[in-house]
Amino acid sequence: MDITIPALILCLPLFMFLLLGIAGCKMSHKLAGWLGCLGMGTCLVLSYFTAFTYYFDPQFVAENGERIQHTVFNLTWLQFTDNLTINLGFLLDPISALMLVVITTISFMVHLYSLGYMEGEKGFQRYYAFLSLFSFSMLGLVVATNIFQMYIFWELVGASSYLLIGFYYTKHSAVSASKKAFIVTRFADLGFLIGILVLSYYTKTFDFIKMTSDPSWVLASTEGATFMGASVLTWALVLIFTGGMGKSAMMPLHIWLPDAMEGPTPVSALIHAATMVVAGVYLVARMFPVYMMEGAATMFIVVVGAATAFYAAMVACTQVDIKRVLAFSTISQIAFMMVSLGVASLGNGEVSHHGLGYMASMFHMFTHAMFKALLFLGAGALIHAVHSNDYTAMGGLRKYMPITHWTFLIGCLAIAGIPPFSGFFSKDEILSACYAWSPYIGMWMSMVAALTAFYMFRLYFLIFWWNNPDYGHHKPHEAPLPMAIPLVVLAAVSCVAGFIPFGHFVTWDRMPYDIHLDWTIAGTSIVVAVCAIALAWKMYCKENGLPAKFKNALPALWDWCYHRFYWDELYMFITHKIIFNGICRPIAWFDRHIIDGTMDAFATVTNKASYAIRGLQSGQVQMYVWVYLIGALLLAGFGVLCLIM
Amino acid sequence: MDYSQFLAMKQEIGLLIVFLLVFLYDTFMPRSAGKQLPVFASVLMLIFTAACCFCPCLAGSESAFAGMYETSAVIAAIKNILNIGVVIVLIQSVKWANSEEMAPRRGEFYELLLVTLFGMYLMISARHFLLFVIGLESASLPLAAMVALDKNRYESSEAAIKYILTAVFSSAVFMMGLSFVYALSGSLYFQNIYLALTGQHSTMLVLALAFVISGVGFKLSLVPFHLWTADVYQGAPTSVTSYLSVISKGAAAFAFLVILCQAFGAVYANIWEWMLYALIILTITVGNLFAIRQRNMKRFLAFSSVSQAGYIMLGVIAFNAMGLAALMYYILVYIFSNLAAFGVIGAIENATGKVSMDDYRGLSKTNPRLSLCMMLAMFSLAGIPPFAGFFSKFFIFTGAINQGSVAIYVLVLIALINTIISLYYYLLVVKAMYIAEEAPVVETFKSSCGERIGLWITIAGIIGLGIVSCVYNFLLDTTATSAINAYFM
């Protein structure tokens, strides 16, 4: 493929960032917004073109039907040794093409939506500049040809996420949320970096294609090296996964994501629902053949994923803030993808199941991005209308906001797994993969799916039905056009995306195969979902005493769920009480007294020496020449000394 | 005589043509057209540089005049690097050259500058000490005249007389060293000296080495042969100072490396490496210690350039292909960073006549863009990522460490500690510009077109060279395949 279009896909958002960042303050809000949309729109068209060419042009399919991994360009950026170089490139393969489509679609929708949502906000241009920066970093991340490039963009994504969460920088909660997100993910990235270094130390490469095309070679290169009872490869893969846990908000590093909802809602839709948070899934998918070689690391992924999925679903059932509900729902759904990848790589001996979980995970990543962005943007429209995040301020809104209502309902049906909406198909594939590996994990995930349907419809009924609060004179209004269009488009995509024959495009070995719905599993999950929705309808459709009764029946459980199982408090305790007192204070003392003291002494000596020799520069030429001559002779003397030694 | 060997000297001949055109323009054009001379010279030099950069690279090396002269891809590259620096200097000095008091001497500046550049070309290409001395002298003596260009100013003539006296003395010492070398080897060809001195050691050879090193060290202003630097940098017109600090230094550094490896590379146990070792430590440290105390910006940059010369020498002592590539890259980056700093200093001096660091207080409030340029230049000189200066230091340290001995590790450690000291004084400037509370001294002013173009180029270089890696990779590829590699062990 020609280098121009892929290079443009990366350069355009970067250019828009620089343009809006530098010249933005001299533009009007309108111009900046439309420029941002135009830039992203062009990027969208180019990405669609690239992905379309990749999927349908026969030159990207090998003779045996395998889709080839195509490196469009790969420039050496920093050369450490002959083998170990950091390259910057553009890798086109099924998953990166898929992500190009997802990122540019959602990003463009969010750009458009923000025209309405952010109208009149202070720093409008800055907002668009950061959106462009984020899009650039995310695109760079998915097309990375090597793990170090991915790491670079991974950090850039983290930085732009930080900037966007803290967009309302005068609001205290937003500032602390952005700090929290940055610190937690950065902490996880430390693991990622160590993992990269360990892996590259043994394999002598950063390159994805080299590592994944022949993973047995990776295994062989780390042969025999162990650390604390586990093989080095396991350590490296688990550490790399730690980075993914941070970005994808897996337990116990999930605590930043609910707080990140302090950012503007479109940002939550783009970054904290559809794109950045699936980076961890993407990372594991990228390294999938290597993970497949290493049972212990994948077991870890499955356990973490399954625990997170259940935990987040439980918490989502009790939250009041609608964005928090969606945030926990996101955590739970990403955990679905992780589990799916995990069981795919473990397999049960039958080759088709390797493919199934991987394909299902990518499929769910695609459909989830669409319907979760839809739900977030819908939530944004609601917040825009009633000026509050809490469902207690909403209720009966279906009459005031029909478009938002219908699109939100489609989103809920999709995530609950009701056919023919997209979520049904992808979730069914995930459950099939889980059942194929182990019925227990399958049942566990089915239970989480039921919880998903329940909390989503709890939210839906509480917002759109329940009881009208007194809206007063200020009646809620329907979303303006720029906000309504993305809702309708994403809802339409959520309706039809399930019918895409996904197995033809994205599989782990890049060989196309047909998807078969397993109707036993699909039928069961439909029944389960419908029961959960019915329960939600019974409890929340009309104002009644059932929820309160339920809460009083299980006060402890409700309390734990409501307080997110006290994870934040636990973190507070560990950091403030144990780490601050036990580790930080001694280090601070050491820093202040020993290190600073040494440095001060160093500075004093330097200063004294500098003062003492100033006479050398007397300004007299005779003196200069003398010093020169004596210097030359001393140099010769030194040389003779070296000779004798 | 086979006249076709002149073809090997394409760059020299091109430069000569540029010189002649400038000379003819200056001599025969009417007085009224004199104002266009600076632009004319800059454009000519730019065309010449572009032509050199884009002409096809030499595959191997070519030599002429019975091996006295040699050129190759590496040599062409270093000349191109110098050319780029000269173009920037010329662009930056347009306003100064067009000032009223420069009117009678305008042409001289350009002619002398091109002649010294020609001398540096010869220094770089010489493979015979006679040709080298011709290059060295024609790169030194006209410089004294350039330093004195501002002859009505007391400091300028004082600087010139100091420069010429020390330069003459250093040349004498250098020639003394050469005569010893001749006595020992019976030839002045680098190649013959190399063969004759293989494995040799004697007190006379050590003395010869010390004298030769001190002669070239003078041009590089290595400690203790650096004492002229501060006075000359301060006294000379700023455009001349910037030329002196980067171009003259870059040429000398490369020539130094060539002499040491091609003529003295085989001397017993590489005694000169130990001499250089001592000189590097002295240069970096003493340069830094003096720089801390300076309040005059030009004096301050003089000592900073002394200490930078020590870092450049790390590329020589590395004694491998990577060290050579790193040295060339360091010179290139240093040209951009230092010229950015001098560009700002020159702009402020031309507009207000102020050169003290105290006058820079609060500059960010009155001249935010100039302050930004200065800050970036300081960051790059100090080696803060992601600016080019960080990468050049990184590569030169890596090149040195690749040499592998424990002593080198110690040397690099000392150099690293010194970067901390240098950070202190570079940041002093930034502090004065951005943090100082006092009322700004320098009024808001509009810098001239040439100064602005020069600063844009240098800032683009400071930011771009670090990120666009192909420049360094190109240098690495060029050096890895060059003939000079045979001398590295």
pLDDT at A345: 67
- Collect all residues of chain B within an 8 Å Cβ-Cβ radius of residue A613: 286, 289-290
Give chain B's length. Answer: 489
- Collect all residues of chain B within an 8 Å Cβ-Cβ radius of residue A605: none
- The minimal CB distance from B275 to the residues A75, A610, A638 is found for A638
Do A609 and B161 count as a contact with CB atoms less than 8 A apart? no
- The minimal CB distance from A636 to the residues B210, B230, B289 is found for B210
Residue holding tokens 């269009």? A485
pLDDT at A3: 84
- Collect all residues of chain A within an 8 Å Cβ-Cβ radius of residue B226: none
pLDDT at A373: 92
Q: Report ipTM (2 d.p.).
A: 0.91
Do A619 and B292 count as a contact with CB atoms less than 8 A apart? no
Q: Taking a C-beta distance cutoff of 8 angstroms, is the pair A74, A87 a contact?
A: yes
Residue B127 has pLDDT above 80, yes or no: yes
Residue B289 has pLDDT above 70, yes or no: yes
Does A252 sit behind a cis peptide bond, omega within 30 degrees of 0 on the bond before it?
yes
Residue B57 has pLDDT above 70, yes or no: no
Q: Taking a C-beta distance cutoff of 8 angstroms, is the pair A96, A103 a contact?
A: no
Do A631 and B224 count as a contact with CB atoms less than 8 A apart? yes
pLDDT at A417: 87
Do A639 and B421 count as a contact with CB atoms less than 8 A apart? no
What phi, psi does A480 have (nearest 5°)? Answer: -65, 170
pLDDT at A350: 52
Does B386 sit behind a cis peptide bond, omega within 30 degrees of 0 on the bond before it?
yes
What are the angstrom distances between the C-alpha of B367 and each of B294, B360, B362, B370?
Answer: 23, 10, 9, 6
Token reading at A388: 């509050």
Chain A interface, Cβ < 8 Å to B: 75-79, 603, 606-607, 609-611, 613-614, 616-617, 619, 621, 623-625, 627-633, 635-636, 638-640, 642-643
Model confidence over A266-321: pLDDT tens digits? 998 988 888 889 999 999 999 888 888 877 888 889 999 999 999 999 998 888 88
- The minimal CB distance from B290 to the residues A617, A627, A630 is found for A617
Does A512 sit behind a cis peptide bond, omega within 30 degrees of 0 on the bond before it?
no
- Collect all residues of chain A within an 8 Å Cβ-Cβ radius of residue B272: 639
Q: Which residues of chain A have pLDDT under 70?
A: 345-354
Considering the entire predicted model, what is its pTM? 0.77
Model confidence over B402-450: pLDDT tens digits? 888 888 999 999 999 999 889 999 999 999 999 888 888 888 888 888 8
- Collect all residues of chain A within an 8 Å Cβ-Cβ radius of residue B288: 606
pLDDT at B444: 86
Do A78 and B469 count as a contact with CB atoms less than 8 A apart? yes
pLDDT tier, B489 (very low <50, low <70, confident <90, very high otherwise): low
Does B38 sit behind a cis peptide bond, omega within 30 degrees of 0 on the bond before it?
no
- The minimal CB distance from B170 to the residues A79, A628, A636 is found for A628
Q: How far does the CA of residue A75 sit from the closest CA of chain B (Å)?
A: 9
Q: How many secondary structure helices (H) and strands (E) does chain A include?
A: 27, 4
State CA A150 to chain mean position distance: 13
pLDDT at B330: 95
Q: How far does the CA of residue B207 sit from the closest CA of chain A (Å)?
A: 5
Residue B59 has pLDDT above 70, yes or no: no
Which percentage of chain B shows pLDDT scores above 90?
Answer: 58
- Collect all residues of chain B within an 8 Å Cβ-Cβ radius of residue A632: 173, 210-211, 214, 225
Q: Taking a C-beta distance cutoff of 8 angstroms, is the pair A358, A285 a contact?
A: yes
Radius of gyration of chain A (CA): 28
Q: Which residue(s) pair with A227 in the sheet?
A: A230
Phi-psi region of B298 (alpha: psi -120 to 50; beta: other; left: phi over 0): alpha
> If you count residue pairs, one on A and one on B, with CB atoms under 8 Å apart, how many are there?
99
- Collect all residues of chain B within an 8 Å Cβ-Cβ radius of residue A629: 173
Q: How far does the CA of residue A22 sit from the closest CA of chain B (Å)?
A: 13
Residue holding tokens 């000169």? B272
pLDDT at B294: 87
Alpha carbons within 13 angstroms on the beta-carbon side of residue B369 total 12
pLDDT at A629: 92
The more confidently predicted of residues A643 and B457 is: B457
- Collect all residues of chain B within an 8 Å Cβ-Cβ radius of residue A635: 210, 213-214, 275, 278-279
Mean pLDDT of B288-299: 89
Q: Which residue(s) pair with A447 in the sheet?
A: none
Do B476 and A621 count as a contact with CB atoms less than 8 A apart? no
pLDDT at B304: 94
- Collect all residues of chain A within an 8 Å Cβ-Cβ radius of residue B201: 643
Model confidence over A210-252: pLDDT tens digits? 888 887 777 777 777 777 777 888 888 899 999 999 999 898 8
What are the angstrom distances between the C-alpha of B354 and each of A118, A395, B340, B342, B344?
Answer: 49, 71, 17, 13, 11
Do B476 and A79 count as a contact with CB atoms less than 8 A apart? yes
